[in-house]
Amino acid sequence: MVSLGLEGARAVVTGGTRGMGAATVRRLVDEGARVVAIARNAAPVPAGVHLVTADLSTADGVEAAAAAALDHLGGLDVLIDNAGQNSPVPAGVLAADDEDWRVNLDTNLLSVVRLDRILVPHLVAQGSGAVVHVSSGAARSPQPNAIPYAAAKAALNAYSTGLATAVGPHGVRVTGVLPGIVENTESYARAAADTGRTVEQIRADLLARLPVPLGRIGTPEEAAEVIVFQASPRASYLTGILVPLDGGLLASR
């Protein structure tokens, strides 16, 4: 396999214990990067990866996580802002109260803004580095029960392209990905338990509601491949872009 040029790179991956984040951590480790993963709960991580536990939806949690990551790595080359979560509002957008909006904005927008505000200046000072924001296709095609989440991710997209313009002259690249449906076995298992359906039925329902042209749900490994490429020196002329990572879903809507 051709090296992506990440040997020895110092990388932080938020939400690095499950799903796309965990796959991204594994892929970075394969490339020889030194990795700090951040999540709220302790969980197994690959050998050599340093796990920092912190809640990134709070300003204090972000500050503590950033300090611990910098302390461990002694600097930074790659930042993958992946942690995020949809807190749906089943009764619809007009029933969404301030708390519904606050939770979605804190978890999906301010978490990233705050962490970047501490870490990106280190990239700017050294004149190099790459940031990847994991957003969502929902930003461009909101689901009726998840409009606060979609709006938070849409704001993240605007922030991403603006940040790319601001830090580009300092040699720092900022890109994003817009996942469609990527396997999240734990959330499908929860939905199955809540509804008395099987996990397979949950997957089939998802694909019926969101007909992916490639005809299947993506894997975390497929997502990680794109995320890590964007973060790597192989993508040295990419910045300010948001890549749909969705088997063709956005293109078909």
Which residues are known catalytic residues?
Answer: 149
Instruction: Name which of 42 and 94 has its Cβ closer to ligand NAP.
Output: 42
Helix residue ranges, H only, the chain? 19-30, 59-73, 98-105, 111-126, 147-167, 185-195, 199-209, 220-231
Asked if 39 touches ligand NAP (CB under 6 A), the answer is: yes
For residue 170, state whether it binds ligand NAP (rule: CB under 6 A): no
Q: Is 116 in the site for ligand NAP (CB under 6 A)?
A: no
| The one among 182, 226, 228, 231 contacting ligand NAP by CB under 6 A | 182
Q: Report which of 168, 36, 61, 42 is spatially closest to residue 115, judged by C-alpha positions.
A: 61
Cβ pair 25, 75 in contact under 8 A: no
- In the complex with ligand NAP, which residue's Cβ is closer, 64 or 124? 64
d(CA 222, CA 228): 10
By CB under 6 A, what part of segment 124-143 binds ligand NAP?
134, 136
Query: From the CB of residue 206, how many other CB atoms can be counted at a distance below 10 Å?
Result: 17
> Between residues 46 and 168, which has the closer beta carbon with respect to ligand NAP?
46
**Residues of this chain that bind ligand NAP (CB under 6 A):** 14-15, 17-21, 38-41, 55-57, 82-85, 107, 134, 136, 179, 181-182, 184
